[in-house]
Amino acid sequence: MKKKIVCIGGGNGTSQVLKGLRSYPVEVTGIIGVTDSGRSTGKARILANIPAPGDIRNALISLSGVDEFIRNAFQFRFKSERLPDYDGMALGNLFIAALSQMTGSFEKAVEQTSKLLKVRGSVLPIMIQSTHIACERTDGTIDVEEINVRRVGKAPIKRLFLTDSSASLHPKARVAIQNADIITIGPGSLFTTIIGCLLTPGLKDALSHTQAKVVFLMNTTSQSGQTEGYSVENHFTTLCSYLAKNTIDICLVNNKKPSEKQLEKLAFEGTTYLPLTRLDIKKMKGMVNLIQEDLIEKPHAQRSLWNKQDTICHDPQKVAKSLMRLLKK
């Protein structure tokens, strides 16, 4: 029987993990956040009154077994000066929005898109309700919707919450968590992606009762508008504050320092490399099994990210190999 790995998160981070695992003989399930509200995803949400399809689209493409042309078509973004609302709209987001209206169900739209793309594994929305995240800041102000929560130049985030109390963990996601051998959380934007997922009612309980090893994939950089000044230990303790005690078994941290050219590029864009320091190790001792490995991609050309800041990404194959080693143990 194949071992089961569940990946919780969203954005490019979780897609990188799924991409690395697709070639291994394991059963992979992506449980993907749906509270994004910016850019193309936000427009699709308004158009069809659905949860956010963008991170779902990326996860489906990462596990897709169809021809590269079809995968690229789903990621294609329209260019339109005459219809500004559709400028930058991803075809895959429109496709999922259309199927949601055709079938009357966002869940069915994701299922049918999975079949069309011949997904090797499963991709599930973490919830099927169309809700938003909101935050209270240290100065007492409240911001609603992901696009506002991550806005730069505001007071630090004090706490995060969902606007819809009726939202709940997808039943199939709960079953996947119960049956998993390894569960990964992250990498990704700490508040708007990772904790945005952990806010899902039912997830905290499901994670605290699973027999799987729960692995937190630590980010490689801080992020403007969310984690300026955060250390590795800050990331970890903030994450744990939204979970039951001792939920995280392993924290997998990159220990490969980027090149000077990469560091200069990060500094220019207002992002800071996140090193694992001796103080981090001292503070986290006894809290979690801390594993250090080279996990980052080699320097690459500037990626085309529509209205989104670039960062130092985890290498899909390096992460997958690390997880497979943990699986064997």
Structural domains of the chain, with CATH: 4-328 (3.40.50.10680)
The alpha carbon of residue 121 and the mean position of all alpha carbons in its chain are separated, in whole angstroms, by 17
pLDDT beyond 60 at 51: yes
Distance CA 133, CA 141 (A): 14
The alpha carbon of residue 94 and the mean position of all alpha carbons in its chain are separated, in whole angstroms, by 21
The reported pLDDT for the residue numbered 309 is: 55
**Could you tell me what percent of the chain has a pLDDT over 90?**
81
Distance CA 312, CA 303 (A): 11
Q: Is 112 helix (H, G, I), strand (E, B) or coil?
A: helix
Average pLDDT over residues 34-44: 90
The reported pLDDT for the residue numbered 71 is: 97
Per-residue pLDDT band for 267 (boundaries 50, 70, 90) equals: confident
Per-residue pLDDT band for 272 (boundaries 50, 70, 90) equals: confident
pLDDT beyond 70 at 144: yes
Please give the C-alpha separations between residue 84 and each of 52, 88, 284, in angstroms, as whole numbers. 20, 9, 48
Using omega within 30 degrees of 0 as the cis cutoff, is the peptide bond preceding 51 cis? Answer: no
User: Please, what's the largest Cα pairwise distance for the chain?
Assistant: 58
Closest of 221, 305, 208 to residue 256, by C-alpha: 221
Lookup: tokens for 117: 């793309």
The reported pLDDT for the residue numbered 260 is: 85
Q: Is 327 helix (H, G, I), strand (E, B) or coil?
A: helix
The reported pLDDT for the residue numbered 220 is: 94
Q: Which phi-psi region, left, alpha or beta, contains residue 70 (left: φ > 0; alpha: ψ -120 to 50)?
A: alpha
**Could you tell me what percent of the chain has a pLDDT over 70?**
96
Closest of 239, 251, 247, 14 to residue 124, by C-alpha: 14
Per-residue pLDDT band for 97 (boundaries 50, 70, 90) equals: very high
Per-residue pLDDT band for 301 (boundaries 50, 70, 90) equals: very low
